[in-house]
Amino acid sequence: MRALVVSVLAVVLLAAAVAAQEATPVAPPEIATPPGGTLVTEVNLSENDILGMIKQAIPAFAQSAAGAPGDLGKFLKNVDLNAFADAISGVKFIRVMQFKLDPKTAPAAVATSYEKEFTQAEGWSRVLYDTSMAPNSVVAVYTRGGEDFFGVGIDTKAKRAVAFRTIGFVDIPKLAAWMGRTARFVTEQEAKQKPAPKPAATTPKKPTKKPSTTKTRK
């Protein structure tokens, strides 16, 4: 009887906690449409729905798949998914939007529009601006005290811009360390899969003909 009462109490408390979460959902963070942009894709992940499930599923998957044979086992052994889950455990909302840019729109105009918005807003600062990560690209990342992040990637060749924004704390040192280990592992695997260069074909040298000597008649 006591066990039944405890079980019922646990269910009631769990239901109350879920109801409290559902009663105060996190509003999606705003992402402005860039100049000459048209929205083509939008993804919203909230801690109250899919994001919360994903954060719980990552360590559960890593634990259940530990020791798996083949490429999956090798990947899980070298890429610590628990470290990734730990780095994003404080994230409450992730919003991603992809825009198709008008061919007449200069990529610099897109980057400048977000630069003005997030440097003028209270507490925002730019932590990254890069044009060398990929050909024909511009990448910029902003943060507000390490609690909220905004980033945009602009593909000047494809005329596309992808912007993301997060609400909640991201442990940057842990995330950077995880990304570094993952990138190193992926690079090593790609290098192993590349076939060894074939030796250059050599054409056999033809024997040189001796110059013929002609006798002159006297």
pLDDT per residue over 64-121, tens digit each? 777 777 777 777 777 778 887 888 788 888 889 999 999 888 888 888 899 988 887 7
Confidence of residue 12 (pLDDT cuts 50, 70, 90): very low
Percent pLDDT > 70 in the chain is 74
Cβ atoms < 10 Å from Cβ of 19: 9
Q: What is the pLDDT of residue 31?
A: 92
Q: What is the pLDDT of residue 199?
A: 61
Q: What is the pLDDT of residue 1?
A: 37
More confident residue, 69 or 152: 152
Tokens standing for 69? Answer: 């044979």
The candidate with the shortest Cα–Cα distance to 79, out of 205, 203, 177, 6, is 177
Q: Are residues 114 and 163 in contact, defined by beta-carbon separation less than 8 angstroms?
A: yes
Percent pLDDT > 90 in the chain is 11
Q: Are residues 165 and 95 in contact, defined by beta-carbon separation less than 8 angstroms?
A: yes
Q: What is the pLDDT of residue 163?
A: 92
- Contacts of residue 78, defined as CB under 8 A and 6 or more positions apart, other chains included, come to 181, 185
- Contacts of residue 196, defined as CB under 8 A and 6 or more positions apart, other chains included, come to none
In tens, the pLDDT along 87-103 reads 878 888 888 999 999 98
